[in-house]
RNA sequence: GCCGGGGUGGCGGAACGGUAGACGCGGCGGCCUCAAAAGCCGCUGUCCGAAAGGGCAUGCGGGUUCGAUUCCCGCCCCCGGCACCA
């Protein structure tokens, strides 16, 4: 049931007409020449969707609409706006769904893409359908493989054995991002750890640069913060503690540790190695091998996840070995414990139980000595510690550093350590190298060939793409090996270097590699002889505004920054930051929770669009809350924007000639000022409110409007209700699209000034009256008038006036006592 | 525990340190109608008061200020992310 009013506004007809017209006229699409010669180019990017079988839900539409409004606004300002869209269609998600329904992904994806395309057209997005990118198309992933080869040839891709997340129920490897709180995102089974040889990108080589550049990016603060936390820079020192034998003689080996508190080194009373640490074997006393190996064995079976699940209860065993604390000269025992992670720092720590909560717990559990080396203001050096003390204070029991303030001590102690030659200052990052291998089927094959003689060889560029073969049995199994390894005729090949019999890499790459560079491909999507054209890339990149979900703050956004830096360093690009501006949109909340399939609160947009039209739906979504914060989706709420658009239509189609009324014109110009400013900052809800207010003024008292009054409103509503705006623009007698020619109304400050203003009159800050005064009235006359108000007189009686505060055009405040 | 973001009417939300609650939803009353829907008009934070007017109100407690939703200090609660990172 569609709402059609008698005023002639039939949303479905108007929308159908303009979607057809845009397509026929090529309003939103560009030819290669147009892209090359565009004036004032503006690249408006949004995160391309994964084309699920369910289609886009209201949350997705919300994100795309908000980004589309921004693009349309920029275009109305006169810019040439390129707004591409594509499909991120590879990955475990699609593959799992394909397995579930028993349809091959190669058959499934095209029909999903078709459905997404229909929805995205229906909602009225300003997409350039001539530059669509589909990551599963060999003409795209040919260049994804090319990107891999750039890193491979530059030594930034390396193959090494590493632990991966293994879901024993799904029998597959999972990406870190598919592990939620230690469990498989899909089935909730606890994830195990396995060691498999993987390809890694050396993103850690770029840690400092990725961090430093953040400062000059115009991104949402939350996103920048999340990213810098993820990179996790910390400063401290790396020290080596010599390993000693039974008699206290140095053995020539030492344990390297990283600490952020080198100043507490005098309090290091034992050492802890991660169970995986290479030195464990060496330092373990013969008599203790059995328990040590047993512990390594249990710890090895637990992954990071299971280790966390132990409620942080500390476990560990002594190795029987000892180090000398180079600061105190004392012998301290070496333990192994799984609270020390091989992945961070050196995989070993000096334990300072007095001043580290974890070490304190461990020392208590195993009765290890706890020494105080920092004293707070109320403590003395001998006060026994009941918990780790991490506050401010001065060093104690620390030799020549006694009484040094902790704040200064880090630097001083580090300098002393460096002089003494057993360590130095060191910066550490928590960022790890990016594992891009997936032992799955549905992804681009990693373009590497293994040859007995030549080792891993990159597939030569002229042999790309390495096409993913159609395999009917693509189910993963417990072997930890990709299903492609079952396809002998595919993986058997010749070494490109020596021609000997060789074997293809059978893993595919992470979907984040697909999405790591798609924005570079878009403008060059129609080039098949290169990943991106030099001139067009120079013209259009980097991206002007990127709008998307904050869930990608540390994944996609970090990876694509890294790849852009690499491509720049290799001479392929002349910029190193891909997105000048990034804004994270908020989330749509339904029934008190984020809209998601698992919560069962997903709202399907199609019937709503059917009933109210895309324009009303778009306007409602943008009105329900601040775009960057999201808001509650309430079905009733759509009535407001629905009525507003209908009234706007009525007003415009029945508007007469004639001049604008000065009072109305003032309101219109105030609205232009407000909306222009707010739209630039994605203030969509308040912009719409301002336009509603303006229309209320135009219509007040049932007066007839003139075209001069309503025309600015037609243009300003266009980003939200593009179809209706086009139709009204045409009916107002204009040729062509409202979006062409920079039709944004110009704000005239002279027309917006009020000649009278309401002045609040306060006594001691409390409102006692309101008066109307001429805008140019003098302070004297305003204060005089204020003083004459009955209610003010009453409150001034029997009081002594101390001061009068006068804020021109706003208020008068009498301060009395 | 750490890092973000928030607590404002019945609800979603507005407010350069300056009349708190714009705009909208819902509710109430009215017009139109045989009736309903749609549309239109008015009212709508709360308490006292016939009214004029006054008191109380932006999570809680302090502070700065002529004036605080806004700035500062100390708490409480909610949402999101990270989490044995040495």
Q: Which ipTM was obtained for this model?
A: 0.94
CA–CA dist A718, A115 (Å, integer): 26
Spatial distance from the CA of A441 to the C1' of B74 (Å): 57
Contact partners, residue A384, CB within 8 Å, separation at least 6: A372
Kindly report the backbone phi and psi dihedral angles of residue A551, in degrees, each rounded to the nearest multiple of 5, phi listed first: -65, -15
Residue nearest to nucleotide B81 (CA to C1'): A226
Q: Which residues pair with A427 in a beta bridge?
A: A235
How does DSSP classify residue A660?
P
Q: What is the mean pLDDT of residues A732-742?
A: 94
**pTM over cut 0.90:** yes
Nucleotide nearest to A5 (CA to C1'): B38
Nucleotide nearest to A810 (CA to C1'): B18
CA–CA dist A668, A651 (Å, integer): 14
The HSE-up count of residue A730 (CA atoms within 13 Å, CB side) is 11
CA–CA dist A794, A549 (Å, integer): 57
Cβ contact A586:A629 at 8 Å? yes
Nucleotide nearest to A647 (CA to C1'): B39
Does pLDDT of A366 surpass 80?
A: yes
The answer to whether the Cα torsion of A417, A420, A425, A430 is positive or negative is negative
| Angle subtended at Cα A340 by Cα A337 and Cα A343, rounded to the nearest 5 degrees | 135
Residue percentage of chain A with pLDDT more than 90: 67
Confidence of residue A195 (pLDDT cuts 50, 70, 90): confident
Residue nearest to nucleotide B83 (CA to C1'): A308
CA–CA dist A546, A738 (Å, integer): 24
**pLDDT given for residue A175 in this prediction:** 65
Spatial distance from the CA of A36 to the C1' of B6 (Å): 46
CA–CA dist A223, A231 (Å, integer): 12
**pLDDT given for residue A120 in this prediction:** 96
Q: From the centroid of its chain, how far is CA A535?
A: 29
Q: What is the mean pLDDT of residues A273-301?
A: 90
Residue whose entry in the numeric block shows the structure tokens 């019937």 = A607
Confidence of residue A203 (pLDDT cuts 50, 70, 90): very high
Residue nearest to nucleotide B37 (CA to C1'): A3
Spatial distance from the CA of A765 to the C1' of B17 (Å): 13
Contact partners, residue A754, CB within 8 Å, separation at least 6: A666, A775
CA–CA dist A705, A698 (Å, integer): 6
Nearest CA among A761, A758, A816 for reference residue A786? A761
Nucleotide nearest to A765 (CA to C1'): B67
Nearest CA among A97, A68, A95, A89 for reference residue A136? A89
How does DSSP classify residue A656?
B
Residue nearest to nucleotide B79 (CA to C1'): A593
Q: Which of A177-186, A440-449, A501-510, A642-651 has the lowest mean pLDDT?
A: A177-186
CA–CA dist A654, A6 (Å, integer): 13
**pLDDT given for residue A294 in this prediction:** 92
Confidence of residue A178 (pLDDT cuts 50, 70, 90): low
Spatial distance from the CA of A401 to the C1' of B3 (Å): 33
Residue nearest to nucleotide B14 (CA to C1'): A686
Spatial distance from the CA of A723 to the C1' of B28 (Å): 37
Residue nearest to nucleotide B38 (CA to C1'): A5
**pLDDT given for residue A520 in this prediction:** 98
**pLDDT given for residue A775 in this prediction:** 87
- Of A242-256, A353-367, A710-724, give the range with the top mean pLDDT: A710-724
Nucleotide nearest to A688 (CA to C1'): B23
Nucleotide nearest to A307 (CA to C1'): B84
Residue percentage of chain A with pLDDT more than 70: 96
Does pLDDT of A4 surpass 90?
A: no
**pLDDT given for residue A184 in this prediction:** 73
Spatial distance from the CA of A620 to the C1' of B46 (Å): 31
Confidence of residue A580 (pLDDT cuts 50, 70, 90): very high
Strands A317-324 and A331-336: antiparallel
Q: How many CB atoms lie within 10 A of CB A368?
A: 18
CA–CA dist A758, A762 (Å, integer): 13
How far separated are the first and last CA of chain A, in Å rounded?
A: 66
Kindly report the backbone phi and psi dihedral angles of residue A501, in degrees, each rounded to the nearest multiple of 5, phi listed first: -60, 135
Which of the nucleotides in strand B have any atom less than 7 Å away from a protein CB atom? 3-5, 11-16, 18-20, 22-26, 38-41, 53-55, 66-68, 80-86
Residue nearest to nucleotide B19 (CA to C1'): A760
* Pairwise pLDDT comparison (A797 vs A680), residue with the higher score: A680
Q: What is the mean pLDDT of residues A288-315?
A: 75
**pLDDT given for residue A682 in this prediction:** 94
pLDDT tens-digit series, residues A507-531: 999 999 999 999 999 999 999 999 9
The answer to whether the Cα torsion of A762, A767, A770, A776 is positive or negative is positive
CA–CA dist A222, A630 (Å, integer): 15
Rg of chain A over Cα atoms, rounded to whole angstroms, equals 34
The two structure tokens encoding residue A262: 């080198």
Assign A456 to helix, strand or coil: strand
DSSP-H helix ranges across A383-433: 406-420
Confidence of residue A302 (pLDDT cuts 50, 70, 90): low
Spatial distance from the CA of A800 to the C1' of B49 (Å): 29
Nucleotide nearest to A700 (CA to C1'): B41
Residue nearest to nucleotide B24 (CA to C1'): A640
- What angle do helix axes A105-122 and A11-25 make, rounded to 10 degrees? 110
Confidence of residue A307 (pLDDT cuts 50, 70, 90): low
Does pLDDT of A293 surpass 90?
A: yes
pLDDT tens-digit series, residues A66-101: 999 999 999 999 999 999 999 999 988 888 889 888
Cα distances (angstroms) measured from residue A752 to each of A699, A748, A773: 18, 7, 17
Assign A432 to helix, strand or coil: coil
Assign A504 to helix, strand or coil: strand
How does DSSP classify residue A634?
-
Spatial distance from the CA of A411 to the C1' of B40 (Å): 76
Nucleotide nearest to A637 (CA to C1'): B25
pLDDT tens-digit series, residues A693-704: 999 999 887 778
Burial label for A66, CB within 10 Å (0-12, 13-18, 19+), is buried
- Please give the order of strands across the beta sheet that includes A630-632: A593-594, A587-590, A630-632
Does pLDDT of A160 surpass 80?
A: yes
Residue whose entry in the numeric block shows the structure tokens 């086009």 = A726
Does pLDDT of A506 surpass 90?
A: yes
Dihedral of the alpha carbons of A788, A794, A795, A801, in degrees to the nearest 10: 60
Does pLDDT of A190 surpass 80?
A: no
Nucleotide nearest to A593 (CA to C1'): B79
Kindly report the backbone phi and psi dihedral angles of residue A164, in degrees, each rounded to the nearest multiple of 5, phi listed first: -130, 165
Nucleotide nearest to A553 (CA to C1'): B81
Cβ contact A453:A498 at 8 Å? yes
Kindly report the backbone phi and psi dihedral angles of residue A613, in degrees, each rounded to the nearest multiple of 5, phi listed first: 95, 155
Q: Which residues pair with A331 in a beta bridge?
A: A324
Spatial distance from the CA of A660 to the C1' of B39 (Å): 26
Residue whose entry in the numeric block shows the structure tokens 């139709």 = A727
Cβ contact A810:A759 at 8 Å? yes
The answer to whether the Cα torsion of A685, A688, A694, A698 is positive or negative is negative
Spatial distance from the CA of A465 to the C1' of B12 (Å): 51
Cβ contact A811:A794 at 8 Å? no
Nucleotide nearest to A629 (CA to C1'): B5
The two structure tokens encoding residue A365: 């559990």
Confidence of residue A330 (pLDDT cuts 50, 70, 90): very high
Spatial distance from the CA of A697 to the C1' of B66 (Å): 35
**pLDDT given for residue A3 in this prediction:** 46
Nucleotide nearest to A182 (CA to C1'): B83
Q: What is the mean pLDDT of residues A609-637?
A: 92
Nearest CA among A548, A573, A561, A572 for reference residue A212? A561
Spatial distance from the CA of A806 to the C1' of B19 (Å): 14
CA–CA dist A259, A240 (Å, integer): 11
CA–CA dist A460, A448 (Å, integer): 9
Tally DSSP H helices, then E strands, for chain A.
Answer: 28, 35
Confidence of residue A590 (pLDDT cuts 50, 70, 90): confident
Contact partners, residue A11, CB within 8 Å, separation at least 6: A2, A3, A612, A613, A614, A615, A616, A723, A724
Does pLDDT of A2 surpass 50?
A: no
Spatial distance from the CA of A609 to the C1' of B34 (Å): 35
**pLDDT given for residue A550 in this prediction:** 85
Contact partners, residue A777, CB within 8 Å, separation at least 6: none
Spatial distance from the CA of A623 to the C1' of B15 (Å): 17
Spatial distance from the CA of A765 to the C1' of B21 (Å): 19
DSSP per-residue letters across A342-411? TTSTTSEEEE-TTS-HHHHHHHHHHT------EE-TT--TTPPPSS---SS-EE-S-GGGTT-BHHHHHH
Nearest CA among A126, A8, A31, A133 for reference residue A70? A126
Give the DSSP H or E segment for A503.
Answer: strand A501-504
The HSE-up count of residue A340 (CA atoms within 13 Å, CB side) is 27
Does pLDDT of A539 surpass 90?
A: yes
Contact partners, residue A429, CB within 8 Å, separation at least 6: A204, A207, A208, A231, A232, A233, A234
Spatial distance from the CA of A387 to the C1' of B9 (Å): 48
The two structure tokens encoding residue A160: 């090494």
Nucleotide nearest to A693 (CA to C1'): B23
Average pLDDT, chain A: 90
Cβ contact A741:A715 at 8 Å? no
Spatial distance from the CA of A192 to the C1' of B80 (Å): 27
Cβ contact A151:A566 at 8 Å? yes
Per the document, the length of chain A is 817
Confidence of residue A1 (pLDDT cuts 50, 70, 90): very low
Spatial distance from the CA of A528 to the C1' of B39 (Å): 57
Do you find a cis peptide bond into A298, omega within 30 degrees of 0? Answer: no
DSSP per-residue letters across A776-792? T--HHHHHHHHHHSHHH
């Amino acid at each position: 049931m569609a709402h059609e009013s008698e005023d002639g506004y039939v949303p479905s007809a108007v929308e159908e007409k303009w979607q057809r017209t845009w397509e026929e006229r090529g309003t939103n699409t560009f030819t290669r020449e147009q892209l090359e010669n565009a004036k004032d180019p503006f690249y408006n990017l949004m995160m391309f969707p994964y084309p699920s079988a369910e289609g886009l839900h209201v949350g997705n539409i919300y994100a795309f609409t908000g980004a589309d409004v921004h693009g349309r606004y920029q275009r109305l300002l006169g810019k040439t706006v390129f707004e591409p869209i594509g499909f991120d269609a590879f990955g475990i998600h699609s593959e799992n769904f394909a397995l579930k329904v028993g349809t091959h992904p190669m058959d499934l994806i095209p029909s999903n893409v078709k459905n997404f395309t229909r929805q995205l057209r229906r909602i009225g997005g300003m997409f350039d359908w001539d530059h669509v990118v589909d990551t599963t198309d060999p003409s795209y992933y040919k260049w994804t493989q090319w990107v891999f080869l750039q890193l491979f040839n530059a030594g930034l891709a390396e193959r090494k054995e590493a632990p991966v997340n293994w879901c024993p129920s799904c029998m597959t490897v999972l990406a870190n991002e598919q592990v939620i709180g230690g469990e498989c995102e899909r089935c909730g089974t606890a994830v195990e750890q396995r060691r498999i040889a993987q390809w890694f990108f050396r993103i850690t080589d770029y840690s400092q640069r990725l961090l430093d550049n953040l400062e000059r990016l115009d991104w949402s603060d939350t996103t920048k913060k999340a990213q810098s936390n993820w990179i996790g820079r910390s400063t401290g020192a790396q020290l080596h503690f010599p390993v000693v034998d039974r008699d206290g003689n140095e053995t020539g080996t030492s344990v390297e540790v990283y600490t952020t508190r080198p100043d507490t080194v005098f309090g290091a009373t034992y050492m802890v190695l991660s169970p995986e640490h290479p030195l464990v074997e060496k330092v373990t006393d013969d008599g203790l091998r059995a328990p040590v190996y047993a512990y390594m064995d249990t710890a090895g079976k637990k992954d990071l996840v299971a280790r966390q699940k132990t409620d942080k209860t500390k476990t560990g065993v002594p190795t029987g070995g000892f180090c000398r604390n180079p600061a105190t000269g004392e012998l301290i025992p070496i333990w192994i414990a799984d609270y020390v992670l091989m992945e961070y720092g050196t995989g070993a720590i000096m334990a300072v139980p007095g001043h580290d909560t974890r070490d304190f717990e461990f020392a208590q559990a195993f009765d290890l000595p706890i020494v105080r080396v920092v004293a707070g203001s109320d403590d003395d050096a001998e006060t026994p510690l009941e918990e780790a003390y991490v506050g401010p204070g001065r060093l104690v029991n620390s030799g020549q550093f006694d009484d040094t303030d902790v704040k200064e001590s880090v630097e001083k102690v580090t300098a002393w350590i460096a002089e003494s030659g057993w360590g130095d200052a060191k910066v550490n990052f928590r960022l790890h190298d990016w594992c891009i291998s997936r032992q799955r089927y549905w992804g681009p094959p990693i373009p590497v060939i293994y040859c007995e003689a030549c080792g891993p060889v990159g597939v030569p560029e002229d042999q790309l793409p390495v096409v993913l073969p159609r395999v009917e049995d693509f189910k993963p199994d417990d072997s930890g090996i990709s299903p492609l390894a079952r396809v002998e005729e595919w993986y058997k090949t010749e070494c490109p270097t020596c021609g000997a019999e060789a074997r293809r890499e059978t893993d595919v790459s992470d979907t984040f590699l697909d999405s790591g560079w798609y924005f570079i491909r878009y403008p060059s999507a129609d080039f098949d002889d290169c990943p991106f054209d030099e001139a067009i890339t120079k013209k259009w990149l980097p991206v002007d505004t990127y709008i998307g979900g904050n869930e990608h703050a540390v994944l996609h956004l970090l990876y694509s920054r890294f790849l852009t830096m690499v491509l720049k360093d290799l001479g392929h690009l002349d910029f190193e930051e891909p997105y000048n501006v990034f804004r994270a949109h908020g989330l749509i909340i339904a029934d008190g929770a984020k809209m998601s399939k698992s919560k069962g609160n997903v709202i399907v947009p199609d019937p709503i669009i059917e009933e109210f039209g895309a324009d009303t739906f778009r306007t409602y979504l943008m009105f329900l809350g601040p775009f960057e914060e999201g808001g509650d989706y309430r079905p009733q709420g759509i009535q407001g924007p629905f009525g507003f658009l209908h009234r706007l239509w009525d007003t415009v189609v029945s508007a007469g000639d004639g001049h604008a009324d000065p009072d109305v014109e003032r309101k219109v110009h105030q609205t232009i000022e407000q909306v222009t400013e707010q739209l630039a900052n994605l203030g969509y809800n308040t912009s719409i409110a301002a336009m509603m207010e303006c229309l209320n003024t135009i219509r007040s008292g049932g007066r007839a409007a003139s075209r001069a009054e309503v025309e600015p409103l037609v243009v300003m509503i266009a980003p939200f209700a593009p179809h209706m705006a086009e139709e009204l623009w045409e009916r107002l007698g204009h040729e062509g699209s409202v979006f062409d020619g920079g039709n944004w109304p110009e704000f005239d400050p002279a027309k917006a000034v009020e000649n009278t203003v309401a002045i609040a009159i306060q006594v001691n800050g409390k409102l006692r009256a309101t008066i109307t005064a001429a805008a140019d009235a003098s302070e004297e006359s305003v204060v005089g008038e204020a003083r004459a108000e009955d209610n003010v007189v009453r409150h001034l009686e029997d009081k002594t006036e101390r001061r009068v505060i006068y804020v021109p055009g706003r208020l008068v405040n009498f301060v009395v006592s």
